[in-house]
Amino acid sequence: MIGGAFDEPLSRRGGLTRGARLMRALHLDGPLLMALGAIAAFGLLILYSAAGGNLGPWLRQVLRLGLAILAMVALAQVPARVLRMVAPAAYAVGVVLLIAVAVLGDVGKGAQRWLDLGFVRFQPSEIMKLAVPMMCAWYLHDRALPPSLRETLVVLAIIAVPAILIAEQPDLGTALLVAGAGVFVLLLGGLAWRVVFTGIGLAAAAAPVAWLLMHDYQRRRVLTLLDPQIDPLGAGYHIIQSQIAIGSGGVFGKGWMNGSQAQLEFLPERSTDFIFAVIGEEFGLLGQLFLLALYMAAVGRALFLANQCRDTFGRLVAGSIALTFFVYIFVNTGMVTGLLPVVGVPLPLVSYGGTSMVTLLAGFGILMSLQAQRKLVRT
Amino acid sequence: MRRVKVKDLFREQRTFEVRAIVAALIVALMLGLVAARLVWLQVVRFDYYTDLSQGNRARIEPLPPDRGIIYDRKGRVLAENTPAYQLTVTLERVRDLDATLGKLVAIGLLEANDVDRVRQLLRSRRSFEAVPVRLRLTDEEISHYAVNRHRLPGVDLTTRVARYYPYGPSGVHALGYVGSISEDDLKRIDPEEYFGTAAIGKTGLERSYEEQLHGTGGFREVLVNAEGRRMEAVGDDTSELRLQRPVAGQNLELALDIELQRVAEQAMGQRRGAVIALDPWNGDVLVLASTPTFDPNKFARGISTVDYRTLTTDIDQPLYNRALRGTYPPGSTVKPLMALAGLEAGVIEPDDSRFCPGFFRLPNSSHRYRDWKREGHGTVNMREAIMTSCDVYFYGLAATLGIDRIHDSMSRIGFGKATGIDIQGERSGIIPSTEWKKSAFRQPEQQVWFPGETVIVGIGQGYWTATPLQLAHAMAVLATRGRHFRPRLVRAIVDPASGERRERPGEELPRVELKDPASWEVIVDAMVAVTTGARGTAVRAARGAAYTIAGKTGTAQVFTVGQDEEYDEETVAERLRDHALFVAFAPAEQPRIAIAVLVENGGHGSSAAAPIARAVFDAYLLEQTG
């Protein structure tokens, strides 16, 4: 057992190239980085087309990507125990900011999400995507797992406070992601299956209550998912146009820059939330399956790295980050293909927009920092 | 007892590993679900969504066909398609709409009370659309626009194709005109065929040959974005846009001679009436004039309400096609035909003479039917009776023949039924009979035919009515000694694409056969005497002609003025005067043209109508022989 850890450095010392040694020194994981890089590159390619061949938004996105990579590399250098130590502070600051937004935030697109700090507009809910799982893991990491009922309830409370604040903004998509990130910590921490299924049962029972609490536009999104023809030029328009774009792409697509749905502006939000439909239209089934495969590789590698982490905190946070990444992918592609209601979740690393990209790569930076301290033993 | 939990790192690690593997499986499963959805959309439903996206991006723009051109018999253009100018405003290029509209009013391109309507119209359309605010501009208005163009950003002149009639009012009752498609028109056409066509034939040839003239519409697909704004090509993907070129309508080649038509119209001058001239040997309609005329270009450009009201309320009824739709008592013009009927029936010989005391009386009746010549014509034979237009001779002949024999005989040469000319709206007139009277009246006492009613039919009065076209047609039958052709305006239809020319052969109807063909010459001889004899009624009009004219004058009594016409003492007096008629053909021996002239309230046929026929004859016969 101990030997396993003992000869690992030996074998590496001989086989590592200079580049790989640098990566190792920077706590970066090559395969994961390659998968993320490929996704981002593919994203830039399609964004150029989705933006109608305008270089402006494209360059801004490249800039954001660069910034996000910097954030990732920087966070990867932070020692895991420091991350663990700052978790409660980050969570507290996040909650305070969310309350601040609720009180004085800017209103954009009918929702109050932004905090204007004067020099930069800032979405505190983004912080919570990372702060919530870290806080949950912090709470659980020195307790015996699986969590007891009381501990589970505490964790749920930790999740609920920011999730409710965000849902009230209203930003159902982000609330979902934040809550998901926290719940993943519980699940990966070994929450008993019977509790899990009981929870799912309760959620199903609570659905009618949730329906009552939903905003009109949220209800409409659910209704139009069930039947987009209810309102083909209103709420159903997104769903109909996006499915036309994807369906008319066929197996091979219409070719880069040739998607009529996207280029003629039939497809709304084509460079942001609905960019997956542009991929479907221009690169077809093959292009979309290729991207899904890259995502699968990234999620799989991230889960593998999470499993390699030395301590519970690292495993739980890393695993949660990997699964949250997947939730982005599933919610977005599900929405664009008409499987899920329209929820404002971007396609990770591909959709135009800065905040989510920085948060995502910052998450991967944390994941890399955590995995840099491999476990001592293999089981 | 409370269970003490001990932290077991290895167990936690194992649990995590299991959970991570389960999570990975769920991830794979859900991505598989998305992939399955993609296969459904992109493979199974591919055709469906392709159709939808095609419909999304392509808008069909109609390509209206060019309407067929109409030529006269000598190849002169009578109706063609020329660009007309309309004023459009494109809202998104206008900086200040109110100021722009104000300027348009100031330079006279827009009515001040139209401004609100135009503003509303513009607001209701998409901002990038060029919305027509004035449909037709005169040359003067175009120049006003041109001078001020730089001050009017967003205001443009655009062209569209409009029907143009180079001869204006000439021949309008034959040609007809086109106008915008109405609700009524939509009932008789396939709206799909007219998708994009602005105008449709309303009357005359434009209407009756609508099918041939219109052609087949085409269309093209253009790329549009979600707002409907036209886009340039998307990438290189333009090949699938469909294009179907329109097929131009067919050209018509008329029998009509527009110069001859103008001669007739000028000869008519300001008077109301009709002139019809036929080529007796094939039914060619050389002249079809109804006066007053009007300018069809007004309709083709889109007539204003004011202009239209002026035309419809004009007491002279310029829109009314007198040549085809006017039914008049034929008067004395029928006397040669009556004589022919008498000869054919064997009730009279050419040399049989009758004494004309200036009136006629039926046996056992005291009612006197007066001759137009109060003192009477003395003893006249058939030739003299026709030449001098003796009424008494024909009163007697009619009484001898009886109304049913008159009816049968006149029916053979076309009275009482439409000639079947190739434009619509022709009336059939009435040639009465005992049978006819039974069906025409409801009261039994009115259904009885009285002998006195036969007497006045003998001079073309009473119930007998005919159109000028029927009179000309009857002349053509006399001219050819029985040949009988359906009048036709269109001689040939030419396909502009292939140049293929399809003749419409003259349609010959059953020949009018006489028991004794010599009778023809008796009648023609008498009609020549009308224009050449010492006491002929049309001698003055025929004097000096280089050919012989066989003719007959006529005067038809006007009984009443239409009740809905405005009362105006001077006008009414004028409108109570008799209609003047003249029918003829020439040259008498080898006729090449047959004519009927009607001048409403013209007075005497000899003085009012005959000179018009002479003018047409001169133009046609002398120009052709010389």
pLDDT digits over B53-62, tens only?
877 777 777 7
DSSP structure class, residue B477: H
How far apart are the C-alpha atoms of A174 and A131, rounded to whole Å?
A: 13
Nearest to B407 by CA among B382, B432, B428: B432
Do B247 and B276 fall within a single domain? Answer: no
Hey, is A218 helix, strand or coil? helix
Domains identified in chain A, total number: 1
Residues B120 and B99 in one domain: yes
Q: Is residue A363 part of a domain?
A: yes
Let me know if residue A140 belongs to a domain. yes
Domain co-membership, B381 together with B439: yes
| Per-residue pLDDT at B394 exceeds 90 | yes
| pLDDT at residue number B460 | 93
Chain B residues lying within 8 Å of A337, measured CB to CB = 34, 37-38, 41
Specify the pLDDT at position A276.
Answer: 95
- pLDDT by residue (tens digit) across A202-243? 888 888 888 887 777 777 777 776 666 666 666 678 888 899
Inter-residue contact B351 to B383 (CB < 8 Å): no
Q: Are residues B240 and B345 in the same domain?
A: no
Contact A188 B16 (CB under 8 A): yes
In the predicted structure, residue A10 carries a pLDDT above the cut 60: no
Question: Which residues on B lie below 8 Å from A323 (Cβ)?
Answer: 23, 27
Q: Which of A258, A339, A375 sits opposite B235 (nearest CB)?
A: A258
Give the max Cα distance, chain B: 156
Question: pLDDT tens, A283-308?
Answer: 999 999 999 999 999 999 999 999 98
Confidence of residue A5 (pLDDT cuts 50, 70, 90): very low
The CATH number that applies at residue B68 is 3.90.1310.10
CA gap B231, B211 in Å, rounded: 35
Burial A65-103 (b: 16+ CB within 10 A, else e): beebbebbbebbeeebeebbeebeebbeebbebbeebee
Asked if the C-beta of B186 comes within 8 angstroms of chain A's C-beta atoms, the answer is no
For residue B21, the chain A residue with the least C-alpha distance is: A303
Same domain, B223 and B281: no
- Nearest CA to A293 out of B467, B185, B31 is that of B31
Measured CA to CA, the distance from residue B395 to residue B454 in angstroms comes to: 8
The verdict on B244 and B268 lying in the same domain is no
Contact by Cβ (8 Å): B307, B298: yes
Residue B360's SS3 state is: strand
Q: Do the chains contact at A315 and B236, CB–CB below 8 Å?
A: no
Q: Evaluate if residue B268 carries a pLDDT over 90.
A: yes
Single-letter code of the amino acid located at B84: A
| pLDDT tens-digit series, residues B331-352 | 999 999 999 999 999 999 999 9
The answer, yes or no, to whether residue B379 has pLDDT greater than 90, is yes
What residues in B contact A379, CB-CB < 8 Å?
A: 10, 13-14, 17
Where a domain ends, among B201, B231, B252?
B252
Give Dmax (Cα) for chain A.
Answer: 66
Alpha helices in B63-194 (DSSP H): 97-106, 115-124, 139-148, 172-175, 183-188
Closest residue of chain A to B232, computed from CA coordinates: A264
Is B75 among the domain residues?
A: yes
The tokens for B269 are 């001058």
Domain contains A185: yes
User: With an 8 Å Cβ cutoff, are B27 and A145 in contact?
Assistant: no
Residue the block writes with tokens 């939730």: A327
What is the pLDDT at residue B1? 46
Whether residue B153 lies inside any domain: the answer is yes
Together in a domain, B245 and B262: no
Q: Which of B6, B29, B128, B234 to mutate to test the interface with A (most CBs of A within 10 A)?
A: B234
**How high is the pLDDT of residue B562?**
45
Spatial neighbors of B504 by CB under 8 A, at least 6 apart, are: B488, B490, B491, B492, B493
* Set of chain A residues whose Cβ sits within 8 Å of the Cβ of B32: none
How big, in percent rounded to 5, are the helix, strand and coil portions of chain A? 75, 5, 25
The yes-or-no verdict on residue B303 having pLDDT over 80 is: no
Angle, vertex CA B465, rays to CA B463 and CA B470, nearest 5: 150
Residue (of B470, B618, B624, B497) closest to B549 by Cα position: B618
CATH number, domain containing residue B299: 3.40.710.10
Q: Which pLDDT score, from 0 to 100, does residue A90 have?
A: 93
Q: C-alpha angle A115/A117/A119, rounded to 5°?
A: 130
Q: What is the mean pLDDT of chain A?
A: 84
- Answer yes or no: is B5 within a domain: no
B244, B267: one domain: no
In this prediction the ipTM stands at: 0.89
Domain that holds residue A53: 27-372
Residue numbers of the domain that contains B167: 61-252
pLDDT tier, B230 (very low <50, low <70, confident <90, very high otherwise): confident
Catalytic residue list of B: 332
Which residue in B45, B226, B235 is closest to A265 by CB distance? B226
| DSSP assigned state of B607 | I
- pLDDT at residue number A52: 80
Residue B302 maps to a domain: yes
Cross-strand bridge partners of residue B580: B555, B599
- B217 and B289 housed in the same domain: no
Q: Chain B: residue nearest A262 by CA? A: B225
> Which residues of chain A are within 8 Å of residue B31 when distances are taken between CB atoms?
292, 295-296, 329-330
Is residue B227 domain-resident? Answer: yes
In a domain, B376, yes or no: yes
What is the structure's pLDDT at B339?
96
Compare CB distances from B235 to A257, A288, A319 and report the shortest one's residue.
A257
DSSP 8-state assignment for residue B341: H
What is the percent of chain A with per-residue pLDDT over 90, rounded to a whole number?
46
Which chain A residues are Cβ-neighbours of B34 within 8 angstroms?
A: 292, 330, 333-334, 337, 339
Cβ pair B38:A295 closer than 8 A:
no
| Count of domains observed in chain B | 2
pLDDT by residue (tens digit) across B464-495?
999 999 999 999 999 999 998 999 999 999 99
Please give the pLDDT value at position A331. Answer: 92
Q: Tell me, what's the pLDDT at A1?
A: 36
Chain A hits for B53, CB-CB cut-off 8 Å, are 244-245, 247-248, 260-261, 266
Q: Is the pLDDT of residue B578 over 70?
A: yes
Total residue count of chain A as it appears in this document: 379
Q: Which of B12, B23, B31 sits opposite A292 (nearest CB)?
A: B31
Beta strands in A99-206 (DSSP E): 106-108, 111-116, 121-122
- Please confirm whether the linkage preceding B587 is cis (ω < 30° from 0): yes
DSSP B284-316: BEEEEEEES---HHHHHH---HHHHHHHHH-TT
Is B20 close to A255, i.e. CB distance below 8 A?
Answer: no
One-letter amino acid at B111 equals E
Q: What is the mean pLDDT of chain B?
A: 87
Q: What's residue A9's pLDDT?
A: 46
The pLDDT of residue B234? 58
pLDDT of residue B559: 58
| pTM beyond 0.95 | no
B35: closest CA of chain A, how far (Å): 7
CB contact under 8 A, A188 and B33: no
Q: Identify whether A338 is part of a domain.
A: yes
Domain termination site, one of B203, B219, B252 = B252
For residues B385-396, give the mean pLDDT. Answer: 94
Phi, psi of B72 (to 5 degrees): -85, -175
Residue B219 has pLDDT above 60, yes or no: yes
- A369, A75 contact by CB (below 8 A): yes
In a domain, B24, yes or no: no
- Find the closest chain B residue to A304 by CA distance: B20
What number of C-beta contacts closer than 8 Å exist between A and B?
169
Residue A144, token pair as written in the block = 């015996």
Of B235, B252, B269, the residue at which a domain comes to its end is: B252
Average the pLDDT over B554-579 and give the result: 64
Residues of chain A contacting B6 with CB distance shorter than 8 Å = 144
Cα atoms in the Cβ-side hemisphere of radius 13 Å centred on B309:
3
Scan for tokens 């004023």, then name that residue: B87
Shared-domain flag, residues B363 and B438: yes
Residue B472 sits in the same domain as residue B497: yes
| Share of residues in chain B with pLDDT > 90 (%) | 53
Shared domain for B610 and B578, answered yes or no, is yes
Q: Exposed/middle/buried for B359, CB within 10 Å: 0-12, 13-18, 19+?
A: middle
The pairing of beta strand B178-180 with beta strand B199-201: antiparallel
Mind listing the pLDDT tens digit for each residue in B32-57?
Answer: 999 999 999 999 999 888 888 877 77
Q: Across the interface, do A258 and B5 touch by the CB < 8 Å criterion?
A: no
Segment 62-121 of chain B within 8 Å of chain A by CB: none
Whether B17 has its CB under 8 Å from any CB of chain A: the answer is yes
pLDDT in tens, A97-117: 888 888 776 555 445 566 665
Residue B48 falls within a domain, yes or no?
no
With contact defined as beta carbons under 8 Å apart, do A289 and B35 qualify?
A: yes
Test mutation, A241, A243, A248, A281, chain B, max B CBs within 10 A: A248
The rounded percent of chain B whose pLDDT value lies above 70 is 94
pLDDT at position B169 over 90 = yes
Which pLDDT tens digit goes with each residue over B80-110?
A: 998 888 888 888 888 888 889 888 888 888 8
